A and B are shown apart, each in its own frame.
Chain A
């Protein structure tokens, strides 16, 4: 038994190994997620009304605009149940156009939530539905006609918009209710929006790009939510989406950089 090895002869066993990250942890140099400030990182700030139950008559964004680096405005697909064609909201859109700030929409307080309680459908279905309602109101309500330079970003690959636009356009043609303020056929407004890539279906992303163009689709992550992508680039590079290198670059970087003036 004299040939038996003791623990000391086996490499690494019975020996204290210094942690490689020890020095950076005792000097405060190690970066935790909250410590990371990558170049070009943008932040969001909420603007709340200082008056309860008040109507928006005007909105003074000059202080915000005067801050260096304000790039975009984030807004709900409805405002406490008010649709985006509501005249009360027009000053907000008007101001955003005047300042050249794109509006990123996101569903909240979604329509029909009563019947969507089960199966997480308020999110799974309610979100894309509400985005569709918001886009229809911006089109049919004439908001996009009155503000020809307003840029609007639709989440979740546009929700229902890319699939139902034909139906909206048919309605516009045959139903007087749907043909009030909008001056052009619905199809003409599709490229007024920019759409993110959160479709969770490469086929749907391909269809979206065919419908609105590769210059109108931008990388989405839904970062930190379980409904987001763990690897947001995968769907863009998915073979079945058949995106050229140039179009991939647009979707991954260039379109957002142009919209948010990140050059």
Chain B
């Protein structure tokens, strides 16, 4: 089968790669673009470790074909921090709260949480738990995740009001 040219924007950079029509977005990111932050936990959309943003929306990249992001904007965990490598407030609170244990689910959880805070800047605990419901953590570190996301939401809100 012939490969297709995929042009899109990944982490604010224009990218062009050759992919098979059946290549998943996850495989294209990991194998062809070399971004191994998104993980394959299950490959069937259950675990959320492959979560990335496509045009700001959360998607399981293992369930999306790479060619479906043609001309669209993709953001992975590698593109969550600022261009000057300053950590995103969520990354900062995740480190300080000691959220990552084995760390395998963290890229997905952070992308889900970042999209949540874009949509709901001050989510309730219930909304946070719902927001990361698609992400499984086998270390079962959910309580610290909720605390870290809550704190990050506060930090981001006070930054916004200071502006």
Minimum CB–CB distance from A104 to chain B (whole Å) comes to 24
**Cα(A157)–Cα(B104), bound, Å:** 38
In the complex, what distance in Å separates the CA atom of A209 from the CA atom of B32? 42
**Contacting residues of chain A (202-225) with chain B, CB-CB under 8 angstroms:** none
Cβ of B100 and Cβ of A28 under 8 Å apart? no
Q: Which of B35, B96, B106 has the most CB of A within 10 A?
A: B106
- Assess whether A22 is in contact with B78, with CB atoms less than 8 Å apart: no
Contact mask B38-51 → A, CB, 8 Å, 1/0?
Answer: 11100000000000
Question: Which of B17-25, B59-67, B87-95, B116-124 participates in binding chain A?
Answer: B87-95
- Chief secondary structure at chain B's binding surface: loop
What CA separation (Å) do A142 and B76 show in the bound complex? 57
A244 proximity list for chain B (CB < 8 A): none
Residues on the B chain within 8 Å of A16, using CB: 98
Q: Is the CB of A29 within 8 A of B37?
A: yes
Contact A32 B104 (CB under 8 A): yes
Q: Range of interface residues on chain A?
A: 10 to 19
Q: Is A23 an interface residue (CB 8 A)?
A: yes
In Å, the complex CA distance between A16 and B100 comes to 14
Shortest C-beta distance, B105 to chain A (Å), equals 10
Distance in Å from the Cβ of A201 to the closest Cβ of chain B? Answer: 38
Interface residues on B, range: 20 to 34
CB-CB nearest in chain A for B96: A18
User: Is there a chain B Cβ closer than 8 Å to A234's Cβ?
Assistant: no
Known: A19-B100, A21-B103, A22-B100. A28 touches B38 (CB 8 A): yes
Residues of chain A contacted by B103 (CB below 8 angstroms): 21, 25, 30
- Assembly CA distance A27 to B85 (angstroms): 9
Q: Mark A21-48, 1 if CB is under 8 A from B, else 0.
A: 1110111111110110100000000000
Contacts of A35 in B (CB 8 A): 30, 36
Residues of chain B at the chain A interface (Cβ within 8 Å): 30, 34-40, 76-78, 80-81, 87, 90-91, 94-96, 98-100, 103-104, 106-107, 110
Across the A-B interface, the 8 shortest Cβ-Cβ residue pairs: A28-B37, A28-B77, A25-B103, A35-B36, A22-B95, A25-B100, A26-B91, A26-B94
